[in-house]
Structure formats: structure tokens, C-alpha cells
Amino acid sequence: MNDKVNEAIVSPPNIGDIDGLWLAAINYRLNGVNDVQAMDHIYDALPASLGFQDMANVFSGVYCDAYWETDREKPAILAQHMTQALSIALTSSTQYANRAMQQWRGVLCRKNFGDNGVIPTIGAYTDSPDIICNQDVELSPAKLIDNWNTEFWKVPKVGKNYIYMRCQNKSFFGKINDAKVRMYYANGGFNQPPSSWIQCLTVSGKNKDGKVLNRDGRNAILTVGERGASEGFMLDLKSTQHICLIATVSYPFFTENNPLQFSEGNWNSVQWILYNGAGAWRNVTPVSKSGGEESLTFHNQDSTPEQFSFSMRCRRVPEGSTLRMYSDDPAAAFDTRRVKVLRSSQELNIAVQLPPHYAGHIKVQLEGPDGKPLPSSAAVQICMHWCVPHSSPHYLRAAAMLGALEAVPTLQSLQLPVGYFTFVGAGD
């Protein structure tokens, strides 16, 4: 152990309040002290007003890398380390760790407008307002940050487009700087494995890693609540096919945020996006004006046959419109036939069994009354669900993730969302 680390361990931290606890943990982390040693020394210096839950909250943010295993932070690791360092019962430390990791503490990219860093994410997790495309016009960090709750989104055109990502420091009571952004795109659809993503490069320098900037265009230092925007990336498209945009942020306390490193699989993909505050995804686009049929990719990432279902949920879709979902691939054929909309909030569902490692296309027909395009006030959200039977090794964890523990005694199968895609109307 070097002298710098020795000094950091020997020097007792000065902790008078929760801010002092954060500063002490950050100091130990930046000096290369592991989390178990840091807990041991910090706890001896805690005032009476702070306890084990405060320790768990702080360490889940400062030592995120120590608890991250390919696709999410694991409370069990934090619990084991607390028990080792503080000699508390594992049952108790598990409760502290679980509570701590119900809130993301670090750089947050919103999955939807209601995303406040609750883990796992609540609601559709591919509607990010923090992923921006503005075609061929550059946007300043000030404009992106000052208009925080505005969606800057123009449908990517064939050719070059400027894209960005916004982020904020959520519940991390310390300074976060040197944050790096990576942006990717994939064919529009559901449950796309990272191996199918294409990485975008920055406009200036054409690097894979982009900087997070403050509203003045300088490198952002994100104190708690502070907001930032990435430098511009270039999205260069060769066709009019629908795409998904994905963004991730890594920073000194969470360097492990690399989606290309986790093992592919249906469960891992769902966990990575639902439990990762520093990642965002956008699958929202207008329907084509030229016709009512759209095509989206879908996948079964597992090496076993799995059952999936698609649900089409209407919002303000005019009565008399027609809907259809189908696949004409013999290996995974299904067809709802054309269904007439009888109420503006109608829902359409269909199930299919997919072969191992399947990749195919779902075709969607969305047509307004009298064959006209859906009006701009209308939206149709398509969700792909994975049917998790009680025999699945992921069953109990899926029940916990969905908050559906009441299904366990009756061994009821669970419908786990693995992807969303939203079409908005393009008509007048």
C-alpha cells in the first residue's frame, strides 16, 4: 500500500453531519482505499445522529463500482461488506443495502419525464427526454439545460444529425467531474442486444467519449442537483429505417458503466436499463406520413425458446382507426388481423413463441379513419413482454422487480416488459 493510501487510512475523518460523511467517503475512494476499510474508519468517527442506513446510502453512491456486477448494482455485495466492516448481522445489513439501492445516487439520465431516480425505474423506460436529436442544427448547452423539461426531438434524417444527452447529479452530495458520455444507435424495436448497437463519435475530435458541459460550455462540475449536457455527437444514417438512441455516462465513482461488457440475455438487458440511472434510451418517433405500415426489430436473446407478447396501447386514437400487428416469418408467425378502434384508449395483444437467439421484424399497421394518417394528438405505445413462467430461474427476481409477490403462491406467470416503442401521429 502506498504512502498516500496509508495517510488516508491513518488520518481520522472529521465528520459532524451527513455532508461530512459524504466528504469522508469520497476522500477515501479518491485515495484508493477500498470500501471495507473506509467503512471501518468512518464508522468510528460518526456522530450519534448518523447510523448504518446513512452509511449504506453514501457508500452505494461513492463506491458504486464495488457493487456493480456487469448489469446492475447488487445489494448483496454492499450488505456483505457492511457486515465484514461493521460486525452487524447480515439480515440487518441486507435491509440497509436494499433500501439504499432503491434510489440512484449519482449521475442520472431520465428514462421518462417522471423519472426521479427510483430504482428500478417506474413506467416506460425508453421515453427519455434527455436524449436529443436536432438534425442539422447545433444546440448550445445553455439551451438544453435552461429548457430542462422541453423535448428537443426532430426525427433523425438520412445523413448527418446532431445528437446530445442531458444529465444531472441526483442525490450524490459531492462533486462529480470528468464525466464521460457514450452514445449509440440501433435498429428501432425491442430488446436489442448491445452487440447490435452502433457507436457514434463526437462532432469535435470524433472521439467515442464525449464531455459533460455546463451551460457556459465548460467541463461540468456536478454538485448535487446540478445539470449538464453532453458535447455534440454525430449520428450519420444511411436509410429511413426507425432507430433507437442509447446513451450512457461513466464518471470516477461509476467507471463500470459499459453496456458492451455485460453478458447478453433477456434478463441482463432488462436489468441493465431498469437499474442503471446513468443510462437512457429513446424509442419515440412519428408514424410515416406515406403509409400506415411500420417495421420494428425484436429479439429473443436467450439460448432457449421463450414466449413473448406484444401489446399495442392507444392514446387519443380516433374511433374508426384500424390497427394490426403481424410477422410473416414462418419461424415466428403471428397476426392480430385488422382491428377497428372502438374507443380512444383501446388495447390490442398477441403472444408468440420465439426460437433461441431469434431476431425478426414485427410489422405494425396504424391507420386513421378513412385511411388517413393518425392525427398528431394521437399516440400508440407498443410494448414487448417476456412471459416468465414459475419454472424460470428468474421467476422470483422478476416478481420482486415487478412488485408482484402476490403471484408467487399461485405460481402465476409474469409479464416482464423488455422494450417499448411509441409512435405519435403525423397527420394534421
pTM, full prediction: 0.91
pLDDT in tens, the chain (428 residues): 455 556 556 566 789 999 999 999 999 999 999 999 999 999 999 999 999 999 999 999 999 999 999 899 999 999 999 999 999 999 999 999 999 999 999 999 999 999 999 999 999 999 999 999 999 889 999 999 999 999 888 889 999 999 999 999 999 999 999 999 999 999 999 999 999 999 999 999 889 999 999 999 999 999 999 999 999 999 999 988 899 999 999 999 999 999 888 888 999 999 999 999 999 999 988 877 555 789 999 999 999 999 999 999 999 999 999 999 999 999 999 999 999 999 988 999 999 999 999 999 999 999 989 888 888 899 999 999 999 999 999 999 999 999 888 989 999 999 999 999 999 887 66
Report d(CA 384, CA 46) in Å as an integer: 48
Helices (H) and strands (E) in the chain, counts: 10, 22
Q: Which phi and psi (to 5°) does residue 340 adopt?
A: -85, 140
110-142 residues labelled b (16+ CB within 10 A) or e (exposed): bbbeebebebbbeebbbbbbbbbbbeeeebebe
How far apart, in Å, do the first and last CA atoms of the chain sit? 68
- Quote the cell numbers at residue 268: 441482463
